[in-house]
Amino acid sequence: MSVPYSTDDAGHPAPSDGLSQSVGPNGPLLLQDHFLIQKMAHFNRERVPERVVHAKGGGAFGELEITEDVSAYTKADLFQKGRKTPLLLRFSTVAGELGSADTARDPRGFALKFYTEHGNYDIVGNNTPIFFIRDPSKFSDFIHSQKRRADNQLRDNNMQWDFWTLNPESAHQVSFLMTDRGTPKSWRHMHGFGSHTFMWYNANGEKFWVKYHFKTEQGIENLTAAEAKAMEAEDPDAHRRDLWEAIARGEFPSWTVNVQIMPFEDAADYRFNPFDLTKVWPHSDYPEITIGRFTLNRNPSNYFAEIEQAGFEPSNLVPGIGGSPDKMLQGRLFSYPDAHRYRIGPNYLQLPVNQPKVEVRSYNFDGPMAYRNGADPVYAPNTVGGPAAAVDLYEAEGYQVSGEIVRSAYELHKEDDDFGQARALWEKVLSEPERANMVSNIVGHASAPEVTADMKKRVVEYWTNVHPDLGSGVAKGLGVES
Ligand code: NDP
């Protein structure tokens, strides 16, 4: 078979695919062998720093189609009825490193990038509608507690429970994590959620608060703790493999896109703080409305270029969609693009996977690895015909805020507490077998040898606050007197 010749990175025909240049067949090698030097030097630079969180993942490309008219709520181009928008979806675990097992008990990242007519729109979600904390100043401490100790670099369940029990707002999310939804069967068999509250505004400037729910059309399927553990040993890449193989077979996974919409004025005295990331909006107050669906239909052709270097950021917003006073969202609007500037480089938005599909006419120039051709003028405003801001598109995005500068928790709304919604999950939603599995998952996790007797008592107290039956089940399993 005739094949094209291989080259070095500058396109020169390669003199050999496996022989270095030496002084005689047995002699030393030569520094002049540019082909060898480039190969070795490039190999040393094959990695970028792995993500501090969500390091292990996989993803695929697809398409969003909007089937319902929601123009009364948002003028965002991608959400207009009939619109089809290409997208990238990356799934991940949170705490494990690049080579870690896919079936570990952990939330799953569910990060979407939509390539819209107004630039990229990203929803950096999870497979749970809530999160462990509600203030970003706790985030690095939270993640440290879930990762590794300083001294022996081991994971440590005592440290995890220490953080969770000292931060009771975590109870709702830890409840989700300890049900069998904490170990999904595959990425195809779980929901995704935007989790945060975002703002939508329509062409008349009317504003709404919105939450996104992406419902799996494959159905929810989970592993038991024992099945997940066994799969960690059998195939640590089980979820990456499942997604890749399903798409390769032409079995394209899909999700229904639902939203909950809250009138702007309701937020002030809604019974829960609607911006608190540890809370859902109960469906009885704000039912889910279906607006469309998306399908994944194409595997990446180069994992590193298209998935490892993909940079998702909630700050990628488009006209018709804004942020909200959700403090975690506010923190993430900064921290995600900042992570990409460090991990990939300041021009990460010029890489094909991150590049918008529309023409970029930015006045940001140069920097490492810049290749976008920015033409004169290099400043704004100018009188020489350079592009000018689309002020009209953003007219409605502002809203009134006022207050003293403080360091304070959110003001409580009338039904806000740390345990009520976790209790609703236990009481109203979980079946009897799901409750039994939740108890045994908690007991299994808190029975690790490093978890101290004192910590086990705190674990029991934490779950008793969610529900006395849950507390007594955990106490019994841990051998703690309740
Ligand atoms: P609903 O009964 O209207 O909704 C309950 C939700 O729980 C449904 O979305 C259901 O959808 C989901 N669910 C079902 N089984 C499980 C499970 N084993 N683990 C996690 N979620 C499950 O009640 P409310 O809206 O009043 O919420 C009650 C509680 O349900 C909340 O406190 C929260 O813990 C949980 N929940 C609420 C959500 C919301 O946005 N309101 C979303 C998800 C959970 P599905 O089976 O399709 O996931």
For residue 124, the domain's CATH number is 2.40.180.10
Atom of ligand 1 minimally distant from the CA of 191: 48
Give me ligand 1 centre to Cα 192, in Å.
Answer: 13
Report, as ranges of residue numbers, the positions in the chain whose pLDDT lies below 50.
none
Residue 8 lies in a domain: no
**Residue positions annotated with a catalytic role:** 54, 126
**CA Rg value for the chain:** 25
Domain count, the chain: 2
pLDDT of residue 182: 98
Tell me the CA distances in angstroms from 198 to 69, 125, 237, one per residue in order: 19, 12, 33
342 is an annotated ligand-binding site residue: no
Atom 14 of ligand 1, nearest CA residue: 429
- Residue 1's pLDDT is 76
- Residues 465 and 366 grouped into a single domain: no
CA of 425 to the centre of ligand 1 (A): 7
Ligand 1 centre from 429 Cα, in Å? 6
Confidence (pLDDT) at 374: 83
Does 136 lie in the same domain as 56?
yes
Give the residue, by CA position, lying nearest to ligand 1 atom 30.
Answer: 425
Question: Which numbered atom of ligand 1 lies nearest the CA of 424?
Answer: 32
Report DSSP letters for 92-137, one per residue. Answer: EESSS-TT--TTSSS-EEEEEEEEEBTEEEEEEEESSSS-S-S-GG
On whether both 101 and 27 belong to a single domain, the answer is: yes
Give me the domain span that covers residue 81.
Answer: 21-413
Strand extents, DSSP E, 26-83? 57-66
Answer whether 428 contacts ligand 1 (Cβ < 6 A): yes
Same domain, 472 and 377: no
Determine the pLDDT at residue 373: 82
Distance CA 478, CA 444 (A): 9
Residues 471 and 381 in one domain: no
Q: Position 187: which residue type? A: W
Would residue 214 count as lying in a domain?
yes
Do 402 and 468 reside in the same domain of the chain? no
Question: Does residue 247 fall inside a structural domain?
Answer: yes
Ligand 1 and 421: CB distance under 6 A: yes
342 occurs within a structural domain: yes
Same structural domain for residues 378 and 462? Answer: no
Q: What is the whole-number distance in angstroms between the Cα of residue 181 and the centre of ligand 1?
A: 12
In the prediction, which pLDDT does 481 show? 87
